[in-house]
Structure 1
Amino acid sequence: MLSAILRAIGLFSKDERRQYERYPVTSPLEVTVEGVAHSCIVDNVSVGGLRLEPPVDAVPGAELTIRHSESGLNLTGRLIGNDATGSRISFNSEEAGAVVSVWVRMMHEQQSEAQARAE
């Protein structure tokens, strides 16, 4: 039962390659780095962080703020790295990351269900 709970919040067993399970989502967010706001889309989310598209114009290690204006979500993180299509962000708090991970996934599921009903 404990393993099912850990898997539900994104924690993997020790034999998995990644520390946290990633969930594909599509959700707009605003990321602010050194006073500059960037409009991004979340590509995937986990308890440890998220991947954003397009890449954020900042150096790895930069502190940033992640905001979702409609929900009031506001937390801090750190830029882990960029590639040609996106940025990897880690949350400064695993507890906040767990909440955000579940929240973003639920929001994505609700949007997907609403789109399916509309079609």
Structure 2
Amino acid sequence: MLSAILKAIGLSSRDERREFERYPVTSPLEVTVNGVAHKCIVDNVSAGGLRLEPAVDAEPGSELTIRHTESGLNLTGRLIGNDSKGSRINFNSAEAGAVVSVWVRMMHEQQSEEPGV
């Protein structure tokens, strides 16, 4: 079943630089690192991780918790790096990342289909 989910979310070929295909989304999340909560927006998501805006004020390698307050989603990850546009986060579990990637994309699609959005 996991292989079917991974295939559905679009794993990239081995010839490409990235292991997982990225999908553009816009969804609010809360990221907690070193006991400090940050309100962020997901810029894109993949089975391996996500990109957040604005950048999280923490050192690369920091462990963090990703939380979607409306649904209660909680997932752990690691800060890969920051730049002027935001933060790159890796999920600690590829299986959980695959589920979260599909879930965030579905939420984004539903919000995009709502009238007035």
* Number of the residue aligned with 1:53: 53
- Percent of aligned pairs sharing the same letter: 83
* Number of the residue aligned with 2:83: 83
Task: Report how many residues are paired.
Answer: 115
Q: Report the structure number with the largest CA radius of gyration.
A: 1
Change over 3 Å in CA distance of 1:108–1:101 after alignment to 2:
same
TM-score by length of 1: 0.90
Distance in 2 (alpha carbons) for counterparts of 1:26 and 1:107: 9
* Superposed CA offset, 1:24-48 (max 9, x none): 0000000000100000000000000
**1:118 alignment partner AA:** G
Say which SS state the counterpart of residue 102 (structure 1) adopts: helix
* Number of the residue aligned with 1:118: 116
Instruction: Tell me by how many angstroms 1:17 deviates.
Output: 2.1
* Superposed CA offset, 1:49-81 (max 9, x none): 000000000000000000001111001000000
Instruction: Tell me by how many angstroms 1:104 deviates.
Output: 0.2
Q: What stretches of structure 1 of length at least 5 have no aligned partner?
A: none
Distance in 2 (alpha carbons) for counterparts of 1:5 and 1:77: 20
Q: Give the alignment of 1:64-79 within 5 angstroms.
A: 64-79=64-79
CA RMSD of aligned residues (A): 1.7
Question: Is contact 1:10-1:98 (8 Å) kept?
Answer: no
Say which SS state the counterpart of residue 10 (structure 2) adopts: coil
**2:19 alignment partner AA:** Q
